[in-house]
């Protein structure tokens, strides 16, 4: 008898992680024409951002309030929160401007054979 895993409704469907690394697709699959993408891994909302050819992942929920950074406006390495306009550096989750005063957690990202891998809380 096979076992069908139960995946929470908002969980991003990926293969099980290998050593904690989730394969989330190629840059083209993940981003399409955008440079921001929201995922849910292990119940954690993760914002993934593409700047030129580099990819970064931080917690998607703004530390100031409940807004998804992946729905914000990306300029350079800074994502502008769509709710109150605070800026966060997507490279390390540092809060850059008020009203955001608490840093966002960053996650590890690596790209291998054209696939993006994310490990939570790197």
Footprint on this chain of ligand FES (rule: CB under 6 A): 62, 64-65, 67, 81, 83-84, 86, 99-100
Nearer to ligand FES, 40 or 83 (CB): 83
* Cα separation, 73 vs 80, whole angstroms: 5
Output Rg (C-alpha) for the chain, integer angstroms: 15
Nearer to ligand FES, 23 or 96 (CB): 96
Nearest approach in angstroms of CB 113 to ligand FES is 35
Half-sphere exposure of 25 (CA within 13 A, CB side): 12
Nearest approach in angstroms of CB 54 to ligand FES is 23
Query: Residue 58 forms beta bridges with which residues?
Result: 47, 106
Nearer to ligand FES, 35 or 71 (CB): 71
Nearest approach in angstroms of CB 87 to ligand FES is 9
Sort strands 44-51 and 54-59 into parallel, antiparallel or unpaired: antiparallel
């Amino acid at each position: 008898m096979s076992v069908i895993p139960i995946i929470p409704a908002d969980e991003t469907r990926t293969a099980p992680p290998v050593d904690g690394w989730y394969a989330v697709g190629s840059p083209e699959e993940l981003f399409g024409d955008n440079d921001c993408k929201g995922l849910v891994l292990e119940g954690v909302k993760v914002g993934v951002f593409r700047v030129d050819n580099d990819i970064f992942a931080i917690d998607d929920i703004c530390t100031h309030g409940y807004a998804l950074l992946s729905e914000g406006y990306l300029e350079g390495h800074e994502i502008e929160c769509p709710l109150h306009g605070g800026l966060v550096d997507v490279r390390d989750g540092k809060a850059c401007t008020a009203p955001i005063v608490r840093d966002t957690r960053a996650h590890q990202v690596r790209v291998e054979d054209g696939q993006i891998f994310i490990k939570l809380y790197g």
